[in-house]
Amino acid sequence: MKQRSLSAFSLIELTLAIGIAAFCLLAVMGLIPIAVQTTRNATSQTAATNIITSVIADMRATTSATSPQYGITFGTCRRLYFDSQGQVVASSACNANITLPATARYRLTADFPPNPPAGLSYSDLKVTWPAPVDPATTTPAGSVEMFAAFDRN
């Protein structure tokens, strides 16, 4: 009579396979918080760059002393506060202390150098987040800075 041989996994092989799979899953699960933080940082940096781009475009488009959309007067320091959608929620002079709305997420500071040469106008624009953090006293979670020159002839 012919005997059939049955093949199957042993308990040791099964335990090793489950252990290797668990180790791999544990490694992948450990990377998830890092991926979430990286995505959050990239989103905030993209939003801050879009805010600066919008402000610079508004300042370049104006022919008067004050930009129409954001109310930034050339030559004076201005702070604007934006929500997570990029909408202005508050505005103040740089030396003023204001109570921020709860929706303020980004702080834009438009600073102009004192006594620029005749016919030249340029500004240092910096967006930091979160908005309540003063970059002069505390390190913000993130920032984007841009230098812009304007043709004011």
| H or E element, residue 29 | helix 11-61
Per-chain mean pLDDT for the chain: 89
Calculate what percentage of the chain has a pLDDT beyond 90: 65
Centre a 10 Å sphere on the Cβ of residue 41 and count the other Cβ atoms it contains: 13
Is residue 83's pLDDT more than 70? yes
Is residue 140's pLDDT more than 70? yes
Sheet holding 88-93, edge to edge: 88-93, 78-82, 106-111, 120-129, 142-151
What pLDDT is stored for residue 58 in this prediction? 93
17 vs 114, more confident: 17
Q: What angle do CA 69, 95, 41 make, to 5 degrees?
A: 65
Query: How large is the average pLDDT for residues 131-144?
Result: 90
Domain ranges of the chain: 11-151
Q: Taking the C-alpha atoms of 69, 74, 78 and 83 in order, what is their torsion angle to the nearest 10 degrees?
A: 20
Residue 67 is encoded by which pair of tokens? 């930009």
Which pLDDT tens digit goes with each residue over 88-129?
Answer: 999 999 888 889 999 999 999 999 988 777 777 889 999 999
